[in-house]
Amino acid sequence: MTIMTNKRIWFTGISVLLILLILHLLHLEHTEYIEKKFLDTYFRIRGSVQSSAPIIIIAIDDKSIFTYGPWPWPRQRMARLIERLSEAKSRVIAFDIIFPAIKEKTRRQGEGDRLLYKTAKDAGNVIFPVFFQLDSEKRERQSLIPPSVGSSSFLLFDDILQMKQLNLPKGYTLFPTDELIAAGGNGVGHVNTILDRDGPIRFEPLIIEYKDRYFPPLSIQTVRRYLDLSWGVVKVEGGKGIRMGEIEIPMDDRGFLLINYYGPYGSFPYLSYKDVMEDPHLQRKCEDKIVLVGVTAAGLHDQWKTPLDIHLPGVEKHANIISSILERRFLSRPLHMDWIEISLLVIFGVLFTGLFPHMTTRNYLLCGSLVFLMTIISSYLLFAYLHLWFKPLFLLLLMVFLQSVLLITRIATKPTLSREVPEPEIVLDTKFQKATVPAFSEVESMTGVHRIGRYIIHEEIGRGAMGIVYKALDPNINRTVVIKTIRFDQLCETDQRENLKKRFFAEAEAAGRLSHPHIVTIYDAGKESGHSYIVMEYIEGIDLTSYCRKENLMDIREVIRLIADVCDALDYAHTNRIIHRDIKPANIMIQKDRRVKVMDFGIAKLPSSHLTQTGTVIGTPSYMSPEQIHGEDLDGRSDMFSIGIVLYELLTGEKPFKGENVSTVTFQITEGEYTPPQEINPEIPAEYVNIMNKVLRKRREERYQTAGELAEDLRRVLMTSK
């Protein structure tokens, strides 16, 4: 049954993984849409960032239209703008305004074109735009490429043949700036904008193919002129990017750059055309700057939706791209990113399928939720700090689908757990003529049923020489419990086992009657397939062992408070004639709300000390009282001595009685002296040292006679000390 269940789990997990891998490779429109929405969300979370690029936008805005009349203006007015910007020593002037050729020019219009040509020629730094019609259904291929456009195409390629293999946007009709005007400029660049299907502009086409020539955008031409680069140092590396001197601009196999927006409208400084023409201090604002000229007046300009705005002027889109290039702040998605995402899918798919049979439902969901959350956080951090676009969708879907399907599988197969555990086969050892019974773990591997008695096993949480500790479920009342199995064959000889078992169950029965807020409750005890077990309350917390190290000591007052609560528990148990006999840090738990619980009442009477007397590892004997070592009859004062050792260790990080082996330790307890605790930790108040000295007296008559007295003394000192 286990084999069949594991096969079903692996079949389910791998099927989910393969489906997601196929969907990832297909790049379906709907999944890409969701991935882009994640990207938009990351932009909004990150918010605006400051640009240090020397860019200023000259806006032909409502104020300018009101002052100088309706658009379009005479071209003489644009010529005067170039003159003003040249006087202000602007570094580059780039127009996001096409000045088309006029078929029937009047004398006045012709003069405007010639004046615009002359002022642009004199300035020597003006970039004009061109627009390509990309719709193949409206193709009107021109017979000739105007000289001004042809001289602005890319010249150098690492592999010109590879360019044909790229999925570049193709132009079918050319709408250039008037050739006379463009001839006065320092180059032209396209101003095409390609929208995603859901509306926003996320990508800029760095290359448009037209008549087997390859043309750059306005942003590339502007940067080239700003850096004073010739076309001889601009090189297209097919499928990778564009190299401009020392700058490498990344692009995908479509020739697209993922735009790294700096913010919404107004992220770059604007000047009104009217102010430019009237400002006597224009040079201070425009000197050595890249000046972008565009129309922003209501109803006239191109308004685009972006991840951060729904009405971004096209001229500011160019500003974002130019700034990214100059600052080398690119948002990229390398070609190998797909394979990284696929590798993570495979790793987590196999890992979470393999872990499923070995984890409880709660832990499995917790781990899956953690991976889900870390995927979102990691993809955002990659975006915000490394400027990488990692697509999280399929890893998130893996966590959701894999956990959902496998948990449904677990629920569907849950009835198999209700079967009774069959009697294990008894194997006869012919050499020694004795029968051996398989351990619980062997029974589980044979039957595929995880039960002890009526309790359903969730997971193993501990293992030792005495047996195995499990986290389990009591199905009768839907309660989580802890089950400790006891291996009597490891504790004593065969002739002593029956007597020891009787003592164990009698002690467990007595401990089960204890009901105290600081004592772990014992619910049940029994025998199963030749093994004995005890069922206890399940506690979420940690024991005091970790707080017995010098680097992790608790606050002194917190220690005193906890030990006083332990003494209350022991006083209650002693009143009911139950001695713990094995007080040590590992048997004292601290819950999440900092309440303390004493464990292992009912099994402490087992001779576990025998297990520590081989080798040099010091275990429980370090916490025994002198009378316990001598084998005398014990009472509650023995537990008091053990509490003193625990208190000493929690305050100093050291045991009071140390040695290289059990014999040395027991001698120190019965005859030796301990180092005064203040020599190890000078911060321990003298009042606490006096209490410790009293509780660690060799003669029990000289100690506190009850745990209640010790608790009362601890709280009294706690209240009076600072």
The predicted-structure confidence for 632-670, as pLDDT tens digits, reads as follows 888 999 999 999 999 999 999 999 998 877 888 888 898
Classify each residue of 690-711 as buried b or exposed e, where b means 16 or more C-beta atoms within 10 Å of its C-beta. Answer: ebbebbbbeebeebbebbbebb
Q: What are the CA-CA distances from residue 121 to residues 88, 221, 534 (Å)?
A: 16, 16, 96
Backbone angles phi, psi at 518, to 5 degrees: -110, 20
More confident residue, 4 or 201: 201
- Spatial CA neighbour of 661 closest among 599, 713, 600, 614: 614
Q: Mark out the alpha helices in 208-336 (DSSP H runs).
A: 218-226, 273-278, 282-286, 314-327
What pLDDT is recorded for position 59? 95
Summarised one tens digit per residue, pLDDT across range 704-716 is 999 999 999 999 9
Summarised one tens digit per residue, pLDDT across range 67-84 is 999 888 999 999 999 999
CA 454 to chain centroid: 40
Beta bridge partners, 427, equal 436
Beta bridge partners, 482, equal 471, 536
Write the CB contacts of 278 (distance below 8 Å, at least 6 apart in sequence). Answer: none
More confident residue, 66 or 497: 66
What pLDDT is recorded for position 238? 82
Write the CB contacts of 436 (distance below 8 Å, at least 6 apart in sequence). Answer: 426, 427, 429
Structure tokens at 37: 């929405």
Contact 665, 659 (CB under 8 A): yes
What pLDDT is recorded for position 432? 32
Summarised one tens digit per residue, pLDDT across range 91-109 is 999 999 999 887 655 545 6
Of the pLDDT bands very low, low, confident and very high (cuts 50, 70, 90), residue 496 is low
CA distance 68 to 59: 13
What pLDDT is recorded for position 57? 97
pLDDT at 420 over 80: no
Classify each residue of 303-330 as buried b or exposed e, where b means 16 or more C-beta atoms within 10 Å of its C-beta. Answer: ebbbbbbeebbbbbbbbbbbbbbbeeeb
Q: Which bin fits 346, alpha (ψ -120 to 50), beta or left (φ > 0)?
A: alpha
pTM of the model: 0.58
CA distance 518 to 598: 6
pLDDT at 18 over 90: yes
Question: Lowest-confidence range among 15-29, 400-414, 563-577?
Answer: 400-414
Side-chain half-sphere of 226: how many Cα atoms within 13 Å? Answer: 24
The average pLDDT across 202-210 equals 95
Residue 301 identity: H
The average pLDDT across 125-132 equals 95
The DSSP letter of residue 267 is S
pLDDT at 345 over 90: yes
Task: Give the residue carrying structure tokens 């008894």.
Answer: 426
Backbone angles phi, psi at 53, to 5 degrees: -70, 145
Q: What is the DSSP string of 513-528?
A: T---TTBPPEEEEEEE
Of the pLDDT bands very low, low, confident and very high (cuts 50, 70, 90), residue 160 is confident
Contact 92, 291 (CB under 8 A): yes
What pLDDT is recorded for position 105? 58
- R_g of the chain computed on alpha carbons: 41
